[in-house]
Copies of this chain bind each other. A is one copy, B any other.
Amino acid sequence: MGSKERREREREELRGKILEAARELFATEGYEAVTMRKIAQRIEYSPTAIYLHFKDKLAVMRALCDTDFLALARQFHKIAAIADPIERIRAAGRAYAAFAFAHPNHYRLMFMTSHPHETVEESAIEQGNPDQDAYAFLRLAVEQAIASGRFRPSVTDPDLIAQLFWSGLHGLIALQCTHCDDPWVTWKPREELVERMMDALLTGLAAVKG
């Protein structure tokens, strides 16, 4: 027999080719520039062949991002070993921003466009599991930092703090993604902004009252 296995392998191969072609287009030109016809042309199949492997265009792009986001998850796995929760938060922030700047179109699709009908079930990522869910990872680190007295006594809500951290970094990344060449603002270097954002959130900007 073995023919069934072969067909399955061929199927998987074509699926991979579709994703590869889509990735090249997507990384360099963004979501809108990727068309089913262009993908098809690159892999020398008809456009409709793609629909035998993916429900629609969005499914192609999400599968694409899922694979690439695994790389980020692997980095988070290493960072999880950092004992100090504050340092862990900082390292995670750095890795998150670096990933976003390296893959701006991926980041854009995942975090800057809404996918209204996306349910928790159909995702490859397990919600609440700090090994897969980046928000859960951050929340856990914040929780531990609170528990070990690394935040002010007034800071008690891990969700609030995690959301502020995420928002701060997301804001930097998002503005860089869409306005980095904007003539209105002369931006500070990205790495500096990321570090100073984390500094500011942790230690504040205002003068210490004496």
Q: Chain A residues in contact with chain B, CB under 8 A? A: 86, 111-114, 116, 118-120, 127, 133, 135, 149-153, 155, 157, 159-161, 163-164, 166-172, 174-175, 177-179, 181-188, 192-193, 196-197, 200-208
Given contacts A163-B187, A163-B193, A193-B164, contact A207 B150 (CB under 8 A): yes
3 smallest beta-carbon distances between A and B, as pairs: A171-B171, A204-B204, A167-B171
A175 to chain B, nearest CB (A): 6
Which of these, B152, B161, B181, contacts A116 with CB under 8 Å?
B181
Are A172 and B174 in contact, CB atoms less than 8 angstroms apart? no
Contacts of A204 in B (CB 8 A): 152, 200-205
Copies of the protein in its oligomer: 2
A161:B205 contact, CB within 8 angstroms: yes
Residues of B within 8 A of A120 (CB): 183-184
What B residues does A127 contact at CB under 8 A?
A: 183-184
- With A and B bound together, what is the CA distance between A181 and B178 in angstroms? 23
Q: Which residue on B lies nearest to A123, using beta carbons?
A: B184
Min CB–CB distance A171 → chain B (angstroms): 3
Q: Are A112 and B178 in contact (CB under 8 A)?
A: yes
- Which residues of chain B are near A116, meaning CB under 8 Å? 181
Does A206 contact B151, Cβ atoms closer than 8 Å? yes
